[in-house]
Amino acid sequence: MEMNREKLCTSKADVSSDSAYHCSTCHDDEEWSNTSRGRAKSRSLSASPALGSTKEFRRTRSLHGPCPVTTFGPKACMLQNPKTIMHIQDPASQRLTWNKPPKSVLVIKKIRDASLLQPFKELCVYLTEENNMIVYVEKKVLEDPAIANDDNFGPVKKKFCTFREDYDDISNQIDFIICLGGDGTLLYASSLFQGSVPPVMAFHLGSLGFLTPFNFENFQSQVTQVIEGNAALVLRSRLKVKVVKEYREKMTVQNGIEENGVVSTNLEKEVGKQIMQYQVLNEVVVDRGPSSYLSNVDVFLDGHLITTVQGDGVIVSTPTGSTAYAAAAGASMIHPNVPAIMITPICPHSLSFRPIVVPAGVELKIMLSPDARNTAWVSFDGRKRQEICHGDSISITTSCYPLPSICFRDPVSDWFESLAECLHWNVRKKQNNFAVEEEEF
């Protein structure tokens, strides 16, 4: 299921090793660029320099903090552990490039939305006829009567490669993905790839569009620049979730009394465990389901019990998911480049249970408390909802397969523009200043 890794990589800046970790926090010779709030009227990627001219690309800010000093006072220092050394490229300089020209593209269209039929047809014609690309679409998209009965679209439709979710594996055939719709199309694209994910270009044709930064008016030039490798990337971390369920079967024990009208005893015999794994972009939600009782689940961090959630449930989200259900439940919003996992209670029966942020590398485990009165239910990005019983467990950690989302401008500007335009973050009528009183002479 692993994708061809030579297709995608993030470009490395043409700098020496001495300046690889140069940041403006430690040095004052880097200028910070001015960013504007709100979406630009003319949406184009031309402001970003092409990757072919890396010498012209100058990073103007860093998303990394300064390198910490590891000596403390005259004699103390940090014990060096070579197993934990990790070099991470500055997220502000992550840009898309291709080792080989892309040849195949997956087009994901929002189902049952008549307003997307014309953009879908225009995009597919542009990709197949002008760029000679192989276009993959889901089979149920072509079953729409408006597409199936369109004779003018027939020659283009014959060139499509189709697939069915949960039946066909296309993970090794797709070079990049184009989404037409809202945020749900991006979540759906993530669910199709349980391993490495191709870069995703999302057009805002839905209702909210927090994760879809591109407008469709100038799609030809924008798609062309992505094909040429001229785009910034934000790596949206995903959660690797493993659900372990106690697999039981009921066995009737014949005790010789059943023939006399007495019901025989039913015993449950454990015959094994069922293991399921998921890659989650937004959040894992554990709730009380249809029960009227409080959910009562234990939360473990790296094997240690940290708390018991008594309320409607708990949300474990990525930074990308912090602006979704978690934000509605009162959590803080985290930029997608921050390596973290957020734990947010849903209507906890406690005045002191606040959302917390834990490091991205920890492993969380959620289980029903031994004294829980009812079962719980779990869902993954709002899908695959299932019941969790006593003895079942949900293990969650950060996945090594992020979703590379193509930016319209850059990771910082796109995020704050979405906050302002989609969520109206901190919108308030400004306070008037004091009136200047004229001096009396």
Residues that are catalytic: 183
How many C-beta atoms surround the C-beta of residue 393 within 10 A?
17
CA distances 126 to 119, 131, 135, 145, Å, are: 11, 7, 11, 22
CA dihedral 246, 252, 257, 262 (to 10 degrees): 80
**Cα separation, 67 vs 366, whole angstroms:** 34
Cross-strand bridge partners of residue 366:
299, 394
Cβ neighbours of residue 238 under 8 Å, at least 6 residues apart? 190, 279, 280, 281, 318, 398, 399, 401, 402, 403
Cross-strand bridge partners of residue 314:
286, 345
Query: What is the 3-state secondary structure of 340-360?
Result: EEEEEEECCCCCCCCCEEEEC
Instruction: Say if residues 243 and 102 touch (Cβ distance below 8 Å).
Output: no
**Cα separation, 344 vs 146, whole angstroms:** 43
* Segment 153-161 long-range contacts (CB within 8 Å, at least 24 positions apart): 153/121, 156/121, 156/124, 156/125, 156/128, 156/129, 159/128, 159/134, 159/135, 160/124, 160/135, 160/136, 161/104, 161/134, 161/135, 161/136, 161/137
DSSP assignment of 190-234 equals: HHH-SS----EEEEE-SS--SS--B-STTHHHHHHHHHTT--BEE
CA 99: distance to chain centroid?
25
Q: Where are the alpha helices (DSSP H) in 230-322?
A: none
Cβ neighbours of residue 180 under 8 Å, at least 6 residues apart? 107, 108, 109, 110, 116, 119, 120, 123, 203, 205, 216
From the number of C-beta atoms within 10 Å of its C-beta (0-12, 13-18, 19+), residue 307 rates as middle
Handedness of CA 398, 402, 403, 408 (dihedral sign): positive
Amino acid (one-letter) located at 126: Y
**Cα separation, 371 vs 21, whole angstroms:** 51
Place of tokens 């014990």: 79
